[in-house]
Amino acid sequence: MAAWGSVIGLEVHARLETRTKLFCSCPNSAGGRPNSRLCPVCLGLPGALPAVNREAVRLGVRLALALGCCLERRCCWARKSYFYPDLPKGYQITQYQRPLAIGGKVRIDLPETGSRWIGIERVHLEEDAGKSLHGVLEGSSTGVDLNRCGVPLVEIVSAPELTTPVEAAAFARRLRAVLRTTGVSRAEMERGSLRCDANVSLTCPGRPPSPRTEIKNLNSFRHLRRALEAEIARQRKIVEAGGQVRSETRGWDDRRRRTVRLRAKEVAAEYRYLPEPDLPDLQIDDALEQEALAGMPEPVHQRRDRYVADLGLSAEDAGRLTDDPRLVAYFEALVEGGVTPRLAANWLLSEVLAHASVSSLAPPAAQVARLLRALVEGRIRTHRAKALLAAAAAGEVCLAQALEQLPEAAARSPQQLERICRQVLVEHPRLVERYREGKSALLSFFVGRALQASGDADPRQVREVMERLLAAM
Ligand SMILES: [Zn+2]
């Protein structure tokens, strides 16, 4: 039997985190009474003129830069014509030739196959269409909600370089982390602010690849992986029986675990792309690029590597933490509060997340840090600490109050504190050097280590001592 492999490319749409829509001042927010957030521009009424939302462009440029893309200095808008009941204009304004950016790459990290860079072909801006509402109105009628018309999207098209469904899911997950960390999009698949289409075809050495099919609207990482697995198996069955895979657009039926044919695959000519006559070319100048770069966070893959190399976390924990900036912030607050990185990662990823969701992490990290310091100092036992955390997360006890009632740790004199801080610096000569080279974020790490060694010292006091010692080095 032939050794069939698969080649997968993803098209990811993310809703940009702007206040208003892409070409008008209607609010860009989910929900709202159907058809209440509309104006002549997003309805495409005759004579209404679109005007580009600069904030949407800034976010698109920010994402492109975070992905290492090459910016198109002068990009243009195009009309993509098609008929949908939820697209009153009969066309969508998008970017076709000369998109916002091309090139770029995303790193994926998998335990089985290690780290690998996946190319990005293009990043462009476009407006969203409305939504058909099935099963909402009485009887068998279908409703149409146009609130989403004109909502700004960024589309990211990967190179066809993914080889397995697991890799495809890892790519989408890492891209989501980049979108969130940079503040470009909330990228919530379950709420539709991140949507994924997957192209897949079979390859076999010595033969041309089979025609590809596209699976539309995959709205969770699990669906993405399962749909690709099912589609690859379906295609393999066809070619192994001597048949031909047809190029078509398919959907995913998760209940029956199979892809279903929607329509023959459109080719670009069928969309009748035209230059958008109502919008001038979009110029990306240096000022806009600088704005887009402002406050750019540490790249997700770099932070992951740093957590492994400098903080001693496992690759799996580092990957899970850096998957979401809210976990990163909570974790760093724990470390800043004097908890060792490994203990912080363990408790956050198991105990805290067992009782709270990523979007509402509780109790506050500063309190959990105090709890974990008490644990390390032997002032509370593990099972009691876990129970206390669970009760606090459920709102049954006030953690701050419970912490007050724990036995005191021995107080520290200023001389003792200074000796402890000095010891921490002596133990980490390489990190001290990096701090002096400008890695100022390492201060929290030193403070954390000193707090851990000192028992229940005042973090502010420790920070002062540490800053003084580092400045004098
Ligand atoms: Zn509008």
Measured distance CA(448)–CA(312) in Å, rounded: 14
Picking from 363, 394, 409, the residue at the C-terminal end of a domain is 409
Residues 362 and 460 placed together within one structural domain of the fold: no
Dihedral sign computed on CA atoms, order 336, 341, 345, 348:
negative
Q: How does DSSP classify residue 236?
A: H
Centroid of ligand 1 to alpha carbon of 242 (angstroms)? 52
Centre of ligand 1 from the C-alpha of residue 131, in Å: 15
Three-state secondary structure call for residue 140? coil
Beta strands at 101-102 and 105-110: parallel, antiparallel or unpaired: unpaired
Q: Are residues 197 and 316 in the same domain?
A: no
Buried b (16+ CB within 10 A) or exposed e, 372-396: bbbbbbebbeeeebbebbebbbeee
Report how far ligand 1's centroid is from the alpha carbon of 16 (Å).
16
pLDDT in tens, 40-56: 999 999 999 999 999 99
Distance (Å) from CA 207 to ligand 1 centroid: 50
pLDDT digits (tens, 9 = 90+) for 309-364: 999 999 999 999 999 999 999 999 999 999 999 999 999 999 999 998 998 898 99
Distance 419 CA to ligand 1 centre (A): 63
Q: How far does CA 376 lie from the centroid of its chain?
A: 34
Identity of the amino acid at 437: E
C-alpha of residue 52 to centroid of ligand 1, in Å: 12
The partner residues of 91 in beta bridges, in order of sequence, read 81
> Where is the domain boundary, 375, 409, 443?
409
Specify whether 421 is located in the same domain as 341.
no
Interval between CA 28 and ligand 1 midpoint (Å): 9
Domain boundary residue, one of 288, 314, 330? 288
> Does residue 108 contact residue 8 with C-beta atoms inside 8 Å?
no
Whether residue 87 is found in the same domain as residue 39: yes
Question: CA-to-CA distance for 241 and 376, rounded, in angstroms?
Answer: 63
Summary mean pLDDT of the chain: 92
30 within some domain? yes
CATH number at residue 463: 1.10.10
104-118 pLDDT tens trace:
999 999 988 899 999
* CA 21 – ligand 1 centroid, Å: 7
Q: How many domains does the chain have?
A: 3
Is residue 460, in this structure, part of any structural domain at all? yes
| d(C-alpha 8, C-alpha 258), whole Å | 17
CA of residue 92 to ligand 1 center, whole Å: 14
CA 431, distance to chain mean position in Å, is 29
Query: Do 186 and 325 reside in the same domain of the chain?
Result: no
Same-domain status, 265 and 254: yes
Residue 397 located in a structural domain: yes
Query: Is the pLDDT confidence value at 411 over 70?
Result: no
Do 43 and 87 share a structural domain?
Answer: yes
pLDDT of residue 135: 78
Distance 375 CA to ligand 1 centre (A): 55
| Centroid of ligand 1 to alpha carbon of 145 (angstroms) | 13
How many whole angstroms separate alpha carbon 279 and alpha carbon 132?
A: 28
Question: What does the radius of gyration of the chain's CA atoms come to, in whole angstroms?
Answer: 26
Provide the strand spans (E) within 208-257: 213-218, 248-253
Cα 180 to Cα 105: distance, rounded to the nearest angstrom:
17
Rounded to the nearest angstrom, the distance between the alpha carbon of 370 and the centre of ligand 1 is 49
Same domain, 279 and 316: no
Q: Tell me: do 40 and 178 sit in the same domain.
A: yes
- Cα of 37 from ligand 1 centre, angstroms: 7
Cis peptide before 277 (omega within 30 of 0): no
Ligand 1 centroid from CA 148, angstroms: 10
Residues 310 and 456 in one domain: no
Distance 25 CA to ligand 1 centre (A): 6
Is 135 within the bounds of a domain? yes
Q: Give the pTM.
A: 0.85
> Which residues span the domain enclosing 138?
5-288
Give the single-character DSSP code of 304.
H
Write the DSSP string, 379-410: SS-HHHHHHHHHHHHTTSS-HHHHHHTSPPPP
CA 20 to ligand 1 center in whole angstroms: 9
Joined tokens for residue 254: 């998760």
CA atoms of 254 and 258, how far apart (whole Å): 7
Taking the centre of ligand 1 as the mean of its atom positions, its distance from the CA of residue 91, in whole angstroms, is 15
Angle among Cα 341, 343, 348 to the nearest 5 degrees reads: 95
If asked whether residues 367 and 442 sit together in one domain, one would say no
Q: Do 319 and 246 share a structural domain?
A: no
The CA distance from 18 to 108, in Å, is 28
Residue 1: pLDDT band (50, 70, 90) is low
The proportion of the chain whose per-residue pLDDT surpasses 90, expressed as a percent, equals 72
C-alpha distances out from residue 124 to 52, 77, 195, 207, Å: 14, 10, 15, 33
Return the H-helix or E-strand segment holding 170: helix 165-181
The CA 42 to ligand 1 mean position distance, Å, reads 4
Going from the Cα of 291 to the center of ligand 1, the distance in angstroms, rounded, reads 26
pLDDT, tens digit, for every residue of 74-124? 999 999 998 888 899 999 999 999 999 999 999 999 988 899 999 999 999
What's the CA-to-centroid distance between 13 and ligand 1, angstroms? 20
In a domain, 293, yes or no: no
Contact 466, 443 (CB under 8 A): yes
